[in-house]
Structure 1
Amino acid sequence: MLNRNGINGKIVSTDMNSTRAKTLGVYLKSRRAQLQPEQAGLTRSHGQRRTPGLRREEVAILAGVSATYYTWLEQGREVAVSRDVIESIGRALQLNPDEHVHLLGLWNANEPEAVTSITTEVKPQWQEIVNQMAFPCFISNDRAELLAWNRAVDERIADFSSRPPEQRNMMSMLFTDPEMRSRLVNWEEMAAHSVAIFRTSYDKYSHDPWFAQFVAELSSKSAEFAALWKLHRVEIKKVTRVFYSMPGDNQVLAYDINSLAFTVDHSDLHLCIYSPAAD
Structure 2
Amino acid sequence: MTPELGPLLRHWRKRLDYRRIPGIDSTRRRLKDGLTQDEVASLTGVASSWYRQLEGGSPRPVSEQFVQRLAMTLRLEEAERVVLYQLALGHTPPPSDAHLGQQADVHLQAVLDSLLPHPAYVSNLWWDIIAHNQPQEDWFPWLPYERNLMRFAFLYPEARDQLVNWREDWAIPFLAQIRFAIAMHPDTPELLRLRDEILEGNDEARDLWATHQAQAHPDGDERRFCLPFHGGKEIRVRITALVPMSKQDQRLVVLLRL
Is structure 2 residue 171 aligned with structure 1 residue 191? yes
Q: Which residue of 2 aligns with 1:17?
A: none
Structure 2 letter corresponding to 1:204: M
Is structure 2 residue 226 aligned with structure 1 residue 269? no
Distance change (3 Å), C-alpha of 1:251 and 1:217: closer
Task: Give me the identity figure in percent.
Answer: 20
**1:252 paired residue among 221, 234, 240:** 234
Q: Which residue of 2 aligns with 1:229?
A: 209
User: 2 CA distance for matches of 1:238 and 1:143?
Assistant: 17
Structure 1 letter corresponding to 2:158: E
Consecutive unaligned residues of structure 1, counting only runs of 5 or more, are 1-117
Structure 2 letter corresponding to 1:171: M
Shift of 1:143: 0.3
Shift of 1:203: 0.9
Q: Which residue of 1 aligns with 2:50?
A: none
Query: What number of residue pairs does the alignment pair up?
Result: 155
Q: Which residue of 2 aligns with 1:115?
A: none
Q: Which residue of 1 aligns with 2:182?
A: 202
User: 2 CA distance for matches of 1:138 and 1:173?
Assistant: 15
**1:171 paired residue among 147, 150, 174:** 150
User: 2 CA distance for matches of 1:158 and 1:230?
Assistant: 32
Is structure 2 residue 156 aligned with structure 1 residue 180? no
Shift of 1:119: 6.5
1:18-29 correspondence to structure 2 within 5 Å: none
Aligned 8 A contact 2:225 2:234 in 1: yes
User: 1 CA distance for matches of 2:159 and 2:114?
Assistant: 23
Q: TM-score with structure 1 length normalisation?
A: 0.51
3-state SS, counterpart of residue 266 of structure 1 = coil
Q: Deviations over 1:218-240 (max 9, x none)?
A: 21111122122222211122311
Aligned 8 A contact 1:157 1:180 in 2: no
Higher strand share: 1
Q: Deviations over 1:78-128 (max 9, x none)?
A: xxxxxxxxxxxxxxxxxxxxxxxxxxxxxxxxxxxxxxxx96111122112
User: 2 CA distance for matches of 1:185 and 1:260?
Assistant: 24
User: 1 CA distance for matches of 2:242 and 2:138?
Assistant: 22
Q: Which residue of 2 aligns with 1:104?
A: none
User: 2 CA distance for matches of 1:157 and 1:240?
Assistant: 19
Structure 1 letter corresponding to 2:159: M
Q: Which residue of 2 aligns with 1:213?
A: 193
3-state SS, counterpart of residue 233 of structure 1 = coil
Structure 2 letter corresponding to 1:255: V
Q: Which residue of 2 aligns with 1:92?
A: none
Is structure 2 residue 223 aligned with structure 1 residue 242? yes
3-state SS, counterpart of residue 177 of structure 2 = helix
Is structure 2 residue 100 aligned with structure 1 residue 138? no
What is the root-mean-square deviation of aligned Cα atoms in Å? 2.0
Q: Which runs of 4+ in 1 moved over 6 A?
A: none
User: 1 CA distance for matches of 2:141 and 2:220?
Assistant: 20
Q: Deviations over 1:49-103 (max 9, x none)?
A: xxxxxxxxxxxxxxxxxxxxxxxxxxxxxxxxxxxxxxxxxxxxxxxxxxxxxxx
Distance change (3 Å), C-alpha of 1:180 and 1:124: farther
Q: Which residue of 2 aligns with 1:66?
A: none
1:36-185 correspondence to structure 2 within 5 Å: 120-133=102-115, 134-161=117-144, 163=145, 167-185=146-164
Structure 1 letter corresponding to 2:172: A
Aligned 8 A contact 1:130 1:138 in 2: yes
Q: Which residue of 2 aligns with 1:74?
A: none
